[in-house]
Amino acid sequence: MNNDFSKPQRESAFGIIIMGAHTMLKIGKASFFLFIIAFVKMSSTSFTYLILGISAIIVFSFIFAYLWYLKFTFFLDKEKQEFVVNKGIFNRDQVIIQLDKIQQVNINQNILQKIIGVYGLKIDTAGAHGEEVSIKAIDETSAYNLREHLLNRRAATEVQSEIEHENNKTEETPFLRISAWTLFKVGLTSNYGQSLALLAAFFYTVIYEGRQLLDAFKINKDEIQSTVTGMLTIVTVFILIACLLMVLLIINLVRTFYKYFELEISEHKNTLLLSSGLIAKKNTLISPNKVQITKYSQNYFQKKMNMLNMSLKQAQFGQSKKGHEMQGNTLEIPGCNPIERDELLKMILGQKLLKAKIFIPDWRFLNLPIFFKLILPVVAFLIIAFNVPEVKPYIGVSIAYFIIGTLMIYISYRRHRISVSQDFIIKTSGIWDISNEIVMPNKIQAITTFQYQWHKGVDVGHLTLHTAAGQIHFKYGNYTEIKQLVNYWLYQVERKNDNWM
Amino acid sequence: MTTETFFTNEVIDLDLLPKYEDIQLSRPHPDYWKIICINLFIFFGLLGITIGILLFFVDEVKPNAKWIIPLYFALLAIFLLLFRASFKKRGYAIRAHDVIYKSGVIAESTIIVPLNRIQHIELNEGIFSRMYKLGSLQLFTAGGQTGHIHISGIAIDEAKRIRDLLLKKIDLLENPITELNPNE
């Protein structure tokens, strides 16, 4: 068997089917509503054209997939320690990945891949633009073999890492397993924001496409509008809101189950193996010392249920703003209990969290947010309210806004703190979800301190720690203390040539 | 090092550590102020031409001339003052293990990049910089957009010396560095 991948090789021939289906799905998605419109508007005589069109797409997809399969080769360059992928149907693309730049190797299986019995393999790198390679079809042994090879070198170079002698437990047995019941609780208590965004996006497309459909059907829009407004009484609005909330919760639950079903973490030769997923099983292998920021967060409900969400942030490169790509480099572990958290932290950080010295911000932390988020809008609103009689009855709302806002800003002030010990920096923040971000000093890339001119007298200043996975801010601290801390961290970073990745 | 928390262990050490805030900073080359002025005057020249054309040819704009022209000159003066202040505030220092850059008028910020975290170095020379034999040095880290240092207005010989020094220090000499000529 050609097991060491040193010769250029194609992926499994099943890849044609996977790629073909993938392309078809893409085209299908893009033209889904087009098809519906065509289907409705069309007379029966041109039905054959539709069939022809669909089959043309299928044929095209598979020709494309076949060409893609022919041109896609990969091999492992042992001497240069590189993984080389050649691809591209019309233009020749060569992707070269240095093995020590590989951050994680994912082995996935979606439904189609499950039916055929092949695996997909994805390589995440720390390359300049987060470029990644994905092999769509590879049989199981080769997949695991390849992963072994890709991650092999790293294991050899990291023998000295502190993590190793910490973990001489039984290998391969998962030390963390999230049960369905926990997932249920997670789904009820977290990630409302993301589900809300999803729902909004869904409604937006439905309304947008719906309009086009209505145009296609030539239905009178005014009629619909009048029936809708006729239905809107106060009772129905409340029912509607209740329904929306229910939908939101259900979406939340489904999403959580889909993504994190049977989440397991086990230890595998100095690396962490995460696997989860309901329909598509996802396996992720990461080495703990590539994690830049470890974060755990908890809100009030979760605290009562004794569970918390963790996320492991890895290096984030390129110009991409906080968006989709960011999530790709963040591994979420929902619903651990404190014991599991400590276990995981110990694995990633190499040791237990110690008692630390806590730094809290100055009360001037409150000034700017209160002025810009509360006083300014409320004053503006009041000025409008006293001049426009229609707005006057809502003055009570602005008072409530002011009180709630003050409370929230005050809570955020009380939560905002940074605690520093020899090996860790822990930044705590949040209003509802209280998050703790843990950074090790050797992950610091650069440090910024800054101070407003008018804070010079009162010795208040700000601190930003730049890491490869984002920044950590500490605002309105005692500037003398901050400077001292900076000097200490610089000393820690510069004293030895620690690998940060 | 023991595993105890450092505040019970190394209090004395903390005060003995080198202090980044007390470092004597080098200022940008005085000629750099001329470049700032040239850039500023080019910008305001273009703006002035646009405004002039508008005032001359568009009748609706004409009555507003009495506040547009003073505003234009006020802006010019404010910008000159701001840039002058910011020019005065800039300073950099190369230490044995890190690079420090200080800047900012309203908020005075200091960024420190340890040498062993530098990913690559860029030396840029613009058209005007070239006339005055100046260059700007950029140090990139993996900390993304915000975690990098951009020092402009260093004499080109000095900049090259710093670059070579840094390259030597971070043992990066085999990697080619990019030299770009953007219009500053």
Q: Are residues B107 and B147 in the same domain?
A: yes
In angstroms, the CA A219 to CA A225 distance is: 11
Does the distance separating the beta carbons of A471 and B3 come in below 8 Å?
no
Tokens describing residue A26: 């893409």
Per the model's pLDDT, the better-predicted residue between A35 and B96 turns out to be B96
Closest CA to A1 of A116, A122, A147, A141: A141
Rounded to the nearest angstrom, the minimum Cα separation between B47 and chain A is: 31
Per the model's pLDDT, the better-predicted residue between A472 and A130 turns out to be A472
Q: Are residues B68 and B124 in the same domain?
A: no
Contacts of A317 in chain B (CB under 8 A): 142, 144
pLDDT at A416 over 50: yes
Q: Are residues B99 and B78 in the same domain?
A: no
Contacts of A479 in chain B (CB under 8 A): none
Q: What would the DSSP string read from start to end of B2-57? A: -SS-HHHH-HHHHHHSPPGGGPPPBPPPTHHHHHHHHHHHHHHHHHHHHHHHHHHH
Q: What mean pLDDT is reported for chain B?
A: 81
In a domain, B12, yes or no: no
Does the distance separating the beta carbons of A319 and B108 come in below 8 Å?
no
Does the distance separating the beta carbons of B21 and A422 come in below 8 Å?
no
pLDDT on residue A220:
64
In angstroms, the CA B156 to CA B130 distance is: 8
Does the distance separating the beta carbons of A450 and B9 come in below 8 Å?
no
In angstroms, the CA A482 to CA A489 distance is: 10
pLDDT at A246 over 70: yes
- Residue B162 sits in a domain whose CATH number is 2.30.29.30
Q: How many domains does chain B have?
A: 2
Contacts with A155 (C-beta within 8 Å, 6 or more apart), sequence order: A269, A270, A271
pLDDT in tens, A207-245: 877 777 777 666 666 666 777 676 667 777 788 888 888
pLDDT on residue B183:
42
pLDDT on residue A161:
35
**Which candidate from B3, B21, B109 shows the least CB-CB separation from A483?**
B21
Bridge partners of A451, per DSSP, are B108
Q: Are residues B138 and B103 in the same domain?
A: yes
Per the model's pLDDT, the better-predicted residue between A198 and A160 turns out to be A198
Q: Are residues B58 and B120 in the same domain?
A: no
pLDDT on residue A482:
92
pLDDT at A164 over 60: no
pLDDT, mean of residues B88-106: 90
Rounded to the nearest angstrom, the minimum Cα separation between B133 and chain A is: 29
Q: Are residues B99 and B83 in the same domain?
A: no
Q: Are residues B131 and B167 in the same domain?
A: yes
Does the distance separating the beta carbons of A444 and B7 come in below 8 Å?
no
Neighbours of A445 (CB within 10 A): 27
pLDDT in tens, B3-23: 444 444 444 467 778 888 888
Return the residue of A nearest to B109 by Cα: A450
Q: Are A99 and A154 in contact (CB under 8 A)?
A: yes
pLDDT on residue A330:
79
Whether the CA torsion B7, B12, B13, B15 is positive or negative: it is positive
In angstroms, the CA A418 to CA A436 distance is: 9
Inform me whether the C-beta atom of residue A355 falls under 8 Å from chain B C-beta atoms. Answer: yes
- Band (pLDDT 50/70/90 cuts) for residue A413 is very high
pLDDT on residue A44:
65
Q: Which of B47, B67, B87 is the last residue of a domain?
A: B87
pLDDT on residue A125:
67
pLDDT on residue A231:
66
pLDDT at A169 over 50: no
pLDDT, mean of residues B112-129: 85
Return the residue of B nearest to A467 by Cα: B143
**Which candidate from B98, B110, B145 shows the least CB-CB separation from A450?**
B110
pLDDT in tens, A275-301: 887 777 777 777 787 888 899 998 888
In angstroms, the CA B105 to CA B103 distance is: 7
Rounded to the nearest angstrom, the minimum Cα separation between A374 and chain B is: 23
Inform me whether the C-beta atom of residue A359 falls under 8 Å from chain B C-beta atoms. Answer: no
Residues of B with CB under 8 A from a CB of A: 1, 3-7, 9, 14, 17-21, 97-98, 104-117, 141-149
pLDDT, mean of residues A169-197: 73
- Band (pLDDT 50/70/90 cuts) for residue A155 is very low
Rounded to the nearest angstrom, the minimum Cα separation between B142 and chain A is: 5
Q: Is A360 helix (H, G, I), strand (E, B) or coil?
A: coil
pLDDT at A114 over 90: no
pTM flag (> 0.80) = no
In a domain, B54, yes or no: yes
pLDDT on residue B109:
92
Does the distance separating the beta carbons of A486 and B20 come in below 8 Å?
yes
pLDDT at A191 over 80: no
Contacts of A453 in chain B (CB under 8 A): 105-108
What is the domain range of residue B46?
31-87
Contacts of B145 in chain A (CB under 8 A): 319
Per the model's pLDDT, the better-predicted residue between A415 and A51 turns out to be A415
In a domain, B17, yes or no: no
pLDDT at A371 over 80: yes
Contacts of B86 in chain A (CB under 8 A): none
Q: Are A191 and A355 in contact (CB under 8 A)?
A: no
CA angle A44, A48, A49 (to 5 degrees): 105
Contacts of A325 in chain B (CB under 8 A): none
CA angle A242, A245, A250 (to 5 degrees): 125
Q: Are residues B53 and B80 in the same domain?
A: yes
Q: Are residues B81 and B152 in the same domain?
A: no
In angstroms, the CA A310 to CA A265 distance is: 13
A68-82, A465-479, B36-50, B81-95, range with the lowest pLDDT = A68-82
Q: Which of B87, B105, B120 is the last residue of a domain?
A: B87
Does the distance separating the beta carbons of A316 and B143 come in below 8 Å?
no
pLDDT at B174 over 60: no
pLDDT on residue A312:
87
Q: Are residues B76 and B99 in the same domain?
A: no
Amino acid type, A288: P
Q: Are residues B155 and B112 in the same domain?
A: yes
Does the distance separating the beta carbons of A315 and B147 come in below 8 Å?
no
Tokens describing residue B93: 């220092």
Q: Which of B87, B116, B151 is the last residue of a domain?
A: B87
| Predicted-complex ipTM score | 0.81
Return the residue of A nearest to B148 by Cα: A446
Inform me whether the C-beta atom of residue A449 falls under 8 Å from chain B C-beta atoms. Answer: yes
In a domain, B109, yes or no: yes
Which helix (DSSP H) or strand (DSSP E) does residue B100 occupy? strand B98-103
Inform me whether the C-beta atom of residue A357 falls under 8 Å from chain B C-beta atoms. Answer: yes
Inform me whether the C-beta atom of residue A484 falls under 8 Å from chain B C-beta atoms. Answer: yes
Return the residue of A nearest to B101 by Cα: A448
Per the model's pLDDT, the better-predicted residue between A49 and B25 turns out to be B25
Q: What percent of chain A shows pLDDT beyond 70?
A: 85
Rounded to the nearest angstrom, the minimum Cα separation between B119 and chain A is: 10
Inform me whether the C-beta atom of residue A351 falls under 8 Å from chain B C-beta atoms. Answer: yes
Q: What mean pLDDT is reported for chain A?
A: 79
pLDDT in tens, A27-44: 888 777 777 777 777 666
pLDDT in tens, A426-469: 999 988 889 999 999 888 989 999 999 999 999 999 999 998 88
**Which candidate from A315, A453, A486 shows the least CB-CB separation from B112?**
A486
- Band (pLDDT 50/70/90 cuts) for residue B101 is very high
Q: Are residues B48 and B118 in the same domain?
A: no
- Band (pLDDT 50/70/90 cuts) for residue A267 is confident
Please give the distance of CA A466 from its chain centroid, rounded to a whole number.
19
Q: Based on the number of CB atoms within 10 Å of its own CB, is B169 exposed (0-12), middle (13-18) or buried (19 or more)?
A: middle
A160-169, A325-334, B120-129, range with the lowest pLDDT = A160-169
pLDDT on residue B42:
93
pLDDT in tens, A375-399: 999 999 888 888 888 877 788 888 8
Number of helices (H) and strands (E), helices first, in chain A? 17, 21
In a domain, B41, yes or no: yes
Contacts of A451 in chain B (CB under 8 A): 107-109
Contacts with A247 (C-beta within 8 Å, 6 or more apart), sequence order: A199
SS (H, E, C) A100-150: HHEEEEEEEECHHHHHHCCEEEEEEECCCCCCEEEEEEECHHHHHHHHHHH
Q: What would the DSSP string read from start to end of A318-358? A: SS--SSHHHHHTEEEEEEE-HHHHHHHHHHHHSS-----EE
Inform me whether the C-beta atom of residue A363 falls under 8 Å from chain B C-beta atoms. Answer: no
pLDDT on residue A158:
41
What does residue A358 show for φ and ψ, rounded to 5 degrees? -105, 135
